[in-house]
Structure 1
Amino acid sequence: MYKLVRRLLNKLTGGSQSQIYQPVLSEQAFNLYILHKCPDIFSGNVEHAHEFSDSEYTNYIALAFREKISSRFFLQPADVDKLCQRAYQPDSIWSHQLTRFVSQVLDDGMFIYAEQGPKLSGEFPWQSIPVGPGGDSLYSIKPHRFSFLPRLALATYLRLIPSNYLLEIVDSWMKKAEEGKSSLFYVSNLVVIQRMLATTWAWLFLAARPVTRSIEELGLESRLLRILWADIQFLIPRIGSSVPNNHLLADRFAACFIQMVIPEFCQQIEFSDVEEKFREEFLRQTYDDGGSFEHSAHYHEFACEMGVAYLLLCYKQGRESNKEIYNRIKMLLHFQAALTGPNTKTPLAFGNATEDGLFPLDGGKGWCSGSLREIYRALFAAQITSTPNDDPSVERAFWLLAGKLRESDQNIENDLICQSFPEGGIHVYPDSELGGRLVFRSGPLADTTVVAGHTHADLLSICLSVGEQMILGDSGTYTYRGLSSKWPESSPDWRNYFAGPIAHNTLCIEGQDPFGKIVGDFRKFDIPPPLKCHYSISPSLAWCEGKLSDVGIYSGYIRGCVHVKGYYWVIYDDPSLLEIDDQLCWYGFQCTPGSELSNFSPKTLQIENNSKNLFLTSSFSDSPEIIEGNLDPPGGWFSSGYGSLSPAPQIRYKLEHFLPSAFVITTQPEAIPELISVSVENDESSIILTLKSTHNEDWLIINKNINNACVYSGLVFTGQLLWIRFVAEKPALLRWSNGHHISWEKYGITLNLEEAADNVLVL
């Protein structure tokens, strides 16, 4: 018997040199491993364990692991029943979502990204799932991540489906995996890690069944334990070998998870310093302000989920986490909460995204903005606004927190304040009076670390939502597959289109990507951080400006954003330093699908979507070009999720003589200016924007050199940002940010702004 065990262990730990990994999933092999490597499971409990039959071993091991794992996991099987009684009453929204999910995957077919695949059953084609557009193998791989498994296990526990449904699905996967005929089952560390996490949660829901009910069904629990065992044997010799971005972080987290939750399955190999290595990698890949070096919202969520899970497991096991890690997790969650705002159902998907999360515990489509917001509220920030009740991802937080969601507080802080995350490249300008929020995506900041494989060319772009409706958005990802012979002959280069500047709300120079064209499927990692950024925030006025460098033909481009609360957002551009010959250049604004555009006035476009309105006014003399669903060349496309492709209006303003220009965006018709002008003053250290309408005139003065006074039309201003409203040709209202002093002899004004109680002054 010893030789048999040794041969099995050699095979499990990488002895086979076959290109396709072939796991050992048999009941006999698993029982032998437990008997010889985990004798404490039997010690003192069963005197004659060696006399057990395989089926008796199976039942006993399954019952033993209910105690072993549950004492270390996020919650114990005994907690599941009371949590289900709270959350899954017949008329609850989560019950309806679970029922709908079960009906879909078992009766209609599971969605594989934007396409509907086969029904989940014992006949599921695990080895021959069709690829996606452009030969995208991620479609074939997705079911092997097991994102469906925790939901079906929960449905089994709640008796929405009989256990044999799930048993047939699991058996069919195990049978095909053991054949070793396809690389899809063990295609990468990350896929196996995602399956391991999903399987552990599915095991928990099954382990919650009473023994009297499940003694004959323990074989299903045993099968999940055997899949976990085989996955861990695959991972252990490979941990640390993944690409040094989110994949490597997942490696380090998986090592922590295995050691903290299921150490019995990794006893045959030295497995030390795993927590220290995870902490080092986590800090390496994230910024002090809560951003991430990948500059992708989806992979930022990955980092958040790993950090939160590590922290919660530390709490579960009665020990404190590292202080630096604790603070970094707090900042990452703060970044997420600011990025989405209270309306978490409209995630801001900048950068690459496939929506494949680490903890598929809810009825959503992969994004977990609401989950992370509720975890942030529970662990760090009780006073921020809670997530909407109909956000399905809250269910994920419910399980990770063992049901300890925080009730809504009566003294909610206003988290609709302007916030800047310069390292993370995000500046958030919400406005409750306008009912909208603008996010200025500045980009990777100079002197920060960047791993750009998943980064889009979204430098100095904007996104804007009104209520729950995104109006101007990041166009999405659509595909990771570069142009090749696997695409139809006349297919556009979708990968470069969606990753490039043409699909983002910023300057586009035709045929030029600031980071260079993607060759293959992903960007090169090592791009120089291209941005110099300045910003300033006060309660009623906020500003950010970025200048690009080290990005080829885009170097020297300047864009700024000013938010005047209650009135409008202003975007200004200065392309005067660009060295461009005859290339076609434009400022683009990508609307979301369903948007309808009309001329509100000669200078103003009205954009309406789902009864939400936005007004876009420009300083340009010519009307913009509107493109929707063009293929040659591509333009006017939107991907609301990985694999989806929809035509949507794109607005393009062609550059005029490379002079400074501006746009004013608002939801209030009365705030629309009739005329916008931009001038550069004081040896290019100041920008003056003038917005004229019938009844008033506004000045915005941006002083880039705060150490010197800005002088304009008799006004002397020492500070960063000043907004003046004129009524009847006299200044009537002032707002400022980082202001010190203002004098204006013409109007008899001399003010020490630092002595003012607020950043607003009525004259």
Structure 2
Amino acid sequence: MGRKLRGRSLDELRVRGAQALAAWRERAGLDRDLDADGRLARWLAPGVSAAPEALLARFRERPAPFWAAFDDPAATVAALRARCPDDEAQVLARAERVLARRFDLMGHRGLAFGDPIDWQHDPVAGTRAPLAHWSRVPYLDPARVGDHKVVWELSRQQYLATLGQAYWYTGDARYAQGFASLVTDWLDANPPKVGMNWTSSLEVAFRATSWLYALRFFAHAPELTPALYARLVGALHVHAVHLATYLSTYFSPNTHLTGEALGLVLIGSLVPELAGAARWRAQGERILLDQIARQQRADGVYFEQASQYHRYTAEFYLQLLVLTERQGRVPGEALRAAVPRLLEFLAELTRPDGTMPLFGDDDGGRLTQLDGRLPDDLRSLLLSGAVVCSRPEWRWLGDGDEAGTLWWLGPQAASALDALPARPPAGHGRAFVPSGFFVLRDGWHATASHAVVDCGPHGVFNAGHAHADALAVVLTLRGRHLFVDAGTYTYPGPERNAFRGAAAHNTALVDGLAPSVPADGAFQWRHVGEAHATRWVDAPALGLFAGVQSGGAWPPDVAHAREIVRVADRGWLVRDRLRAAGPHALSLGWLLAPGLRATVAAGGPDALPIVDVHTLAGDPVARVVVVGPGRWETEEAWVSPQYGTRTPATRLRWVAETLQGDDPVVTCILPPAADGLPTVRLASCEGEGRALLISPSADADTREDEVLLLRQGTGTLRVREVGHAVAHDVATDAACAWIWGAGAAVATLGGEFLALAGESIVRGGDLMPGVPHADRWTTAVRESGGWRVHGGTSTLAASRGA
């Protein structure tokens, strides 16, 4: 007990003590203000009649500051049918599954919980949680309750909105009857404070939000009887009191706390007939505004380093902003600034297909579910942000996915979108320095390449939602996912550490270990390493990230340095190096997206180690070439695209068993051309390093060679060789130089000079006097009047967003 109390503030002891006392009073039966039967009149505001008929009439007549889609249901449906013709059939298909009591929850499809529904049952694990007071339910013990996420997700009742959408489309009473039945069943089987579905205050908030949506969808349905409405008003009172009492102020002051606060705001705003409504709204708003500075880093990124929880946070604050304006109030400057910052990070994470990579934990959930998209699909959220914040670039990113936005913001959103010119965002990368996320891309079109690397803090508090993904990179090549994150899959069970450990990520193991090592607890860590970025370049033809990880389980003299280089639309380089006194085993993992297969090229001892990646249908995706000591291995792996589901995949692994500290391993990732994968061969060179001749075509004789020089050590690296269609005479002291376009374009990293056939193209000392060689970068293009040379310094101080 002494250890638990040590280090806690007086306020924390006060809050935890008050919550423990409240739970004791409930268990002892001393809190009699729990059941709405006969007590509803005590909970209502002065002058509000407790007669169910009067309550329902008041609700139906009262204008509410809810979302614009509910102002005119007929207009909303008309706009959806005109602009989203596929949505109706999709909604009805989902609604029919709900009526059949087959539930799609997170990554699970068609789960059945019995008839009548057993709300404490996990059908995946085959367990049933006890119907005890919520404080006595061991909800984190999978042997007793199964996966608490499965049980909780059913009781979030977000599928009620799907029934409401189907009712609006068709007017079919079956959907209203389904709503009334599911809500009544839940209320009957889950008395206040009893069972699994009261153990998390966040779940209480999400369920209340679902009921508020459903009440608006079925506001005028005969199936919403006065008795049912009065019962729901009483239940919402109990939910609000529970939230206000058991806020996660010190238990989980993350999205739990902000989600609970939003629940208070919504109940307080939308059920004003309750006496506590104004107090709850003010309390929730105060928490949400206070948490902006705590839960968002200076670059706007959510502090747990988990992209899916960042999405949750963006949804919370976007709803708060819209609700505040719908109430006729002026949002404060902190809220106005927070929402665009949150969405800007999501916009940069967006891959060409509208999805985001999953860094850190992904619990598979959504605040609300108004479309059939998976949680990693950002298009609807960004489109809503475009309407609310008048951002044309977000409209461009979300274009073609309007259903979720119209179901929330109504037909006015369609007019706003039509008045907003869609244009792609600017830039080829973004450095989110405080959070350590770095994005590189060669464009914003459908066939662009896009990479994200994590090089920031290992979460906050106990880093419960962090993964061991320092320096891990997720890469989309020419619009197709190539290297992906493994995802989360589950919180309980042995698979937990298999998915969050470093071996599941596209990063390095040294002697079989990563700096950050999970502990046995699902949200605990045994060792935590450190990572920080060292260099950054964001230019049209060249992008660079460099960072280092160390500490944790590694010896103090061991560190892993990684550079990721984007060269125009030619390809990508990943340069890995150990900083260590002696030799160590280095293992680099590359998890392929599901649906891709890898072929390791056979060859003699002098052949380049090549892996060719194709789709299962045989379409070429990438050629991966490694320059450095080691060998390719392949292994079977899993990818979890959403919590609760996983699919087979292949992991490539480069293994160097005795790597010296100064031996770099350079992984070259080359995209396909129209006629297949490029040809690559070693070129003869003078000096320390290696040189590749690349012909970006399967038919090498018809294309000019590109030259890639990778210098090692000191001095000049020179290539003098005749390629398939051009003679090459290149000399440089750059760490990396890529020449393409028959010698008409150049990109270099580091160094003082580059010369082609004796002609000096790049003179770093003249272009950037006083800048250290290692920090220079240059690009050059041959024009009619000579060479146009551009250069800069690869320091974080020069990065956009630093």
TM-score category of the 2 structures, normalised to the smaller one: 0.7 to 0.9
Structure 2 alignment gaps of length 5 or more: 1-20, 127-141, 604-608, 696-704, 719-729, 770-777, 788-802
Give the aligned residue type for 1:352.
Answer: D
Aligned-residue RMSD, C-alpha: 4.0
C-alpha distance in structure 2 between counterparts of 1:22 and 1:646, whole Å: 48
Q: How far apart, in 2, do the equivalents of 1:380 and 1:701 lie?
A: 48
Residue of structure 1 equivalent to 2:436: 425
| Aligned with 1:308 (options 306, 312, 318) | 318
134-143 or 451-460, larger mean C-alpha shift: 134-143
Query: For residues 503-531 of structure 1, what are the alpha-carbon distances to aligned partners after superposition, in whole Å with 9 as ceiling and x for unaligned?
Result: 11111246534222222111359957532
Question: How far apart in 2 are the matches of 1:580 and 1:598?
Answer: 29
Instruction: Name 1:618's counterpart in structure 2.
Output: 626
1:392-449 residue CA offsets vs partner (Å, 9 max, x unmatched): xx43332333341553665623557322223333322233599343323232159x96
* Deviating more after overlay: 197-206 vs 504-513: 504-513
CA shift digits 1:203-257 (9 cap, x unpaired): 11112x3xxx639744444444333222112111112354122212223333433
Q: Does the alignment pair 1:41 with 2:44?
A: no
Which digits, 9 at most, give the CA deviation of each residue in 1:698-723, with x for residues without a partner?
346899xxxxxx975599999x9974
Distance 1:292 1:192 in 2: 23
- TM, length-normalised to structure 1: 0.80
- How far apart are 1:548 and its partner, in Å? 1.2
Larger mean Cα displacement after TM superposition, 658-667 or 134-143: 134-143
In structure 2, what residue type is equivalent to 1:231? H
CA contact (8 A) 1:543 1:563 kept: yes
Does structure 1 conserve the Cα–Cα contact (< 8 Å) formed by 2:151 and 2:197? no
Give the corresponding residue for 1:81: 74
TM-superposed deviation, 1:462: 1.5
Match of 2:347 in 1: 337
Residue 519 of structure 2 aligns to a residue in which SS?
coil
> Matched residues in 1 for 2:667 and 2:454: separation?
17
Report deviation, 1:343.
Answer: 1.8
Q: Retained in 1: the 8 A contact 2:113–2:121?
A: no
Distance 2:390 2:526 in 1: 33
Aligned runs of 1:324-473 on 2, under 5 Å? Answer: 324-344=334-354, 346-367=355-376, 369-378=378-387, 379-384=389-394, 386-387=396-397, 391=401, 394-403=402-411, 404-405=413-414, 406-407=416-417, 412-414=423-425, 417-431=428-442, 435-445=447-457, 452-466=463-477, 469-473=480-484
Show structure 1 runs of 5+ residues with no match: 1-11, 43-53, 483-492, 629-635, 682-687, 704-709
Residue 52 (structure 2) aligned to one of 45, 55, 58: 58
Compared CA separation, residues 129 and 113, structure 1 to 2 (3 A): same
Pairing of 1:597-612 with structure 2 (within 5 A): 597-599=598-600, 602=603, 603-609=609-615, 611=619
Give the residue type in structure 1 aligned to 2:234.
Answer: R
Task: Output the amino acid matched with 2:48.
Answer: I
SS at 1:531's partner residue? strand
Q: What is the alpha-carbon distance in structure 1 between the residues aligned to residue 234 and residue 215 of structure 2?
A: 11
CA distance in 1, matches of 2:477, 2:754: 38
Q: Distance in 1 between matches of 2:39 and 2:82?
A: 38
Q: Which moved more, 1:293-302 or 1:311-320?
A: 311-320
Out of 118, 126, 129, the residue aligned to residue 125 of structure 1 is: 118
> Which residue does the alignment assign to 1:288?
298
Where does residue 235 of structure 2 map in the other structure? Answer: 227
Deviations 1:9-33 (A, max 9, x none): xxx9868432999997866446413
1:173 alignment partner, SS class: helix
SS in 1 for 2:562: strand
* d(CA) in 2 for partners of 1:263, 1:523: 42
In 2: Cα distance, 1:627 partner to 1:323 partner = 51
Distance 1:560 1:496, change over 3 A: same
Residue 598 to residue 742, structure 1, CA distance change in 2 (3 Å): closer
Residue type matched to 1:319 in 2?
Answer: R
Q: Is the CA contact 1:662–1:676 (under 8 Å) kept in the aligned structure 2?
A: no
Please point out which of 553, 570, 585 is paired with 2:573: 570
**Aligned twin of 1:488:** none
Tell me, yes or no, if the aligned pair for 1:599 and 1:606 is still in contact at 8 Å. yes
State the match for 2:329 in structure 1: 319
Q: Label 1:533 to 1:736 Cα distance change in 2 as closer, same or farther (>3 A).
A: same
**Aligned mates of 1:20, 1:365 — CA distance in 2:** 43
Cα separation, partners in 2 of 1:253 and 1:524, compared to 1, 3 Å: farther
| Equivalent in the alignment of 1:256 | 265
Assess, with a 3 A threshold, how the Cα gap between structure 1 residues 80 and 195 changes in structure 2: closer, same or farther. same
Give the aligned partner of residue 478 of structure 1.
489
523-532 or 331-340: which moved more?
Answer: 523-532
Q: 1:303 to 1:434 in 2, by over 3 A?
A: closer
Instruction: Name the SS of the counterpart of 1:521 in structure 2.
Output: coil
More displaced stretch, 197-206 vs 667-676: 667-676
* Structure 1 residue 356 displacement after superposition: 1.1
Provide Cα deviations, 1:642-682, integer angstroms capped at 9, x if missing partner.
1113321111110253221111112225655424999999x
Q: How does 1:89-128 map to 2 (within 5 A)?
A: 92-107=85-100, 109-116=102-109, 118-119=111-112, 123-128=116-121
CA distance in 2, matches of 1:179, 1:329: 35
Query: What is the 5 A alignment of 1:594-673?
Result: 594-599=595-600, 602=603, 603-609=609-615, 611=619, 613-620=621-628, 623-628=631-636, 636-658=637-659, 659-668=663-672, 673=680
Alpha-carbon deviations, 1:364-383, whole Å to 9, x = none? 33445122211232214213
> In the alignment, residue 41 of structure 1 is paired with which amino acid?
V
Secondary structure in structure 2 of the residue aligned to 1:383 = helix
Cα deviation code 1:321-352 (max 9, x no counterpart)? 222332222121011011023422x3311211
Q: How do 1:200-219 and structure 2 match up within 5 A?
A: 200-207=212-219, 209=220, 214=222, 217-219=225-227
CA contact (8 A) 2:438 2:545 kept: yes
Aligned counterpart, 1:6: none
Tell me if 1:547 matches 2:548. Answer: yes
Q: Which amino acid aligns with 1:428?
A: V
* 1:265 pairs with one of 274, 296, 312: 274
Residue 745 of structure 2: which of 723, 733, 753 is its match? Answer: 733
SS in 2 for 1:698: strand
What is the 5 A alignment of 1:170-185? 170-178=183-191, 182-185=194-197
Deviation at 1:276, TM superposition (A): 3.5
Identity of aligned residues (%): 21
Aligned residues: 691
C-alpha distance in structure 2 between counterparts of 1:168 and 1:350, whole Å: 39
Change (3 A) 1:28 1:481: closer
Contact 2:437 2:453 in 1 (8 A): yes
CA distance in 2, matches of 1:456, 1:161: 47
C-alpha contact (below 8 Å) 2:515/2:527 kept by paired residues: no
How far off is 1:497 after superposition?
1.0
CA deviations 1:248-270 (Å, max 9, x no partner) are 22233334334444454362996
- Letter of the 2:543 partner, please give it: A
Once the 2 structures are TM-superposed, how far is the Cα of residue 306 of structure 1 from its aligned partner?
0.9
1:82 maps to amino acid:
A
